[in-house]
Amino acid sequence: MQNRITKLFNIEVPIIQAGMIWCSGWKLAAAVSNAGGLGIIGAGSMYPEVLRAHIQKCRSNTNRAFAVNVPLLYPNIEEIMDILIEEKVKIVFTSAGNPATWTSLLKSHGITVVHVIANTKFAQKAAAAGVDAIVAEGFEAGGHNGREETTTFCLIPMITSVVNIPVIAAGGIAGGKAMLAAFALGAEAVQVGSAFAVAAESSAHPNFKNSIIAAAEGDTALQMKKLVPVRLLRNPFAEAIATAEAAGADASKLSEMLGRARAKAGMFEGDLETGELEIGQVSAMIKEIKPAAAILQQIWDEYRIEKERLFKS
Ligand code: NDP
Ligand code: NDP
């Protein structure tokens, strides 16, 4: 397939692996890129020199395009931007911040910039900042999320009606049927997180991967809206947050309960009791740990089979 996204990134298949803290190191990114999609290193959980090592390692493990995702609220953001430029990273996905701050610098170094949004206001801001494409991430997605709770089905047509740059759909997509639906709504690629969080090459702890496989319908919820909205898998920590929220906990109480490095404890170190487990609603449909290439191929094959079926009917 050829469209604006495959041309922009120089990839064969319009499937992008989401940048996910503690899950998407160089191993996952290189595996997805080698399989024909776009792999992304998630910088949010990496100290600057760890990120540099992951970029170098990714480059020596794939000749194909890969990207780095940078949450813009990252503490050492200037250092991270210097590393991206020094290491000649070609594609950067920014998220969780103002796209106007860094887009022109990155673009002046020839870097393709994509920004992640969850509403029309930020889509317009990102387009005005000059980004090359947008990831529109719906309410179903894991981790940090939009306050409006707009689902992917509502979000994609809203975004494509206000911007002319290509839109990548994210949130709730782990199979080819959902990918086809996203394309019908106007997306030109999909970004897949949860399905790749359990990939064999994901750096997530096996305990976290197994808890994703075991997740059932209703096991994730959007929590901590008064602080930073985040979709979490149900565990004792998430239940404590839900109880506190029902009792009217404010942002400072939630921040105190969250403390520091809980995502690392849960997702990287495998502490399923007190850790923060960020994953999407679609985890209820993910049933096995497989290599990233097999995950990508399954989505792509199903997309093509379903497209054919729809056109015949
Ligand atoms: P990884 O799964 O990241 O991979 C290990 C590989 O990384 C080895 O092949 C090793 O190469 C290579 N590697 C490690 N450090 C460097 C470096 N400084 N420069 C170049 N290559 C390097 O496992 P590790 O546990 O080794 O992780 C490396 C670092 O990345 C650690 O600090 C780890 O905590 C962090 N990490 C962070 C993640 C995150 O999301 N924040 C995800 C995964 C890892 P060689 O065989 O030559 O030693
Ligand atoms: P916390 O403040 O709770 O903890 C910081 C964590 O990040 C620690 O585990 C720390 O590792 C690690 N870390 C990596 N680089 C740095 C650095 N330069 N300074 C301090 N700590 C660093 O944050 P979270 O774990 O909740 O979030 C970490 C990052 O991930 C943030 O940038 C956040 O925006 C992003 N994020 C993105 C999400 C998404 O959906 N895209 C979801 C959630 C978070 P150590 O423990 O080894 O010190």
Whose C-alpha lies nearest to ligand 2, atom 19?
75
What confidence score (pLDDT) does residue 257 get?
A: 98
Structural domain containing residue 98: 4-203+284-308
pTM of the model: 0.93
Same domain, 150 and 224: no
- Within a domain: 313: no
Burial of 86 (0-12, 13-18, 19+ CB in 10 A): exposed
Same domain, 113 and 245: no
Q: Which ligand is nearest to the CA of 50?
A: 1
- Within a domain: 182: yes
Task: Tell how far the Cα of 266 is from the centroid of ligand 1, in angstroms.
Answer: 19
Same domain, 231 and 143: no
Bridge partners (DSSP) of residue 278 are: 232
Same domain, 95 and 119: yes
CA distance 203 to 22: 6
- Within a domain: 171: yes
Give the model confidence (pLDDT) of 174-231 as tens digits: 999 999 999 999 999 999 999 999 999 999 999 999 999 999 999 999 999 999 999 9
Same domain, 168 and 248: no
Task: Tell how far the Cα of 135 is from the centroid of ligand 2, in angstroms.
Answer: 21
What confidence score (pLDDT) does residue 313 get?
A: 75
> Do residues 273 and 235 lie in contact, with contact meaning Cβ atoms separated by under 8 Å?
yes
- Within a domain: 129: yes
CA distance 1 to 7: 10
74 lines ligand 1 (CB under 6 A): no
Same domain, 210 and 174: no
- Please state the domain count of the chain: 2
DSSP helix/strand/coil, 304: helix
CA distance 103 to 119: 19
175 lines ligand 1 (CB under 6 A): no
Q: What are phi and psi of 4, to 5 degrees?
A: -60, -35
22 lines ligand 1 (CB under 6 A): yes
50 lines ligand 2 (CB under 6 A): no
95 lines ligand 2 (CB under 6 A): yes
- Within a domain: 145: yes
CA distance 242 to 234: 10
Same domain, 70 and 219: no
- Within a domain: 81: yes
122 lines ligand 1 (CB under 6 A): no
Task: Tell how far the Cα of 54 is from the centroid of ligand 1, in angstroms.
Answer: 7
Q: Which ligand is nearest to the CA of 58?
A: 1
Same domain, 232 and 289: no
45 lines ligand 1 (CB under 6 A): yes
Same domain, 24 and 124: yes
- Within a domain: 72: yes
Same domain, 229 and 120: no
Same domain, 35 and 51: yes
Residues (pLDDT < 50) of the chain are none
- Within a domain: 70: yes
Give the model confidence (pLDDT) of 264-285 as tens digits: 999 999 999 999 999 999 999 9
Whose C-alpha lies nearest to ligand 1, atom 5?
27
Bridge-based pairing of strands 133-137 and 167-170 is parallel
96 lines ligand 2 (CB under 6 A): yes
Same domain, 164 and 217: no
CATH number of the domain bearing residue 91: 3.20.20.70
Which strands, in side-by-side order, build the sheet including 189-192?
15-17, 189-192, 167-170, 133-137, 112-117, 91-95, 66-71, 39-42
What confidence score (pLDDT) does residue 130 get?
A: 98
261 lines ligand 2 (CB under 6 A): yes
> Do residues 39 and 67 lie in contact, with contact meaning Cβ atoms separated by under 8 Å?
yes
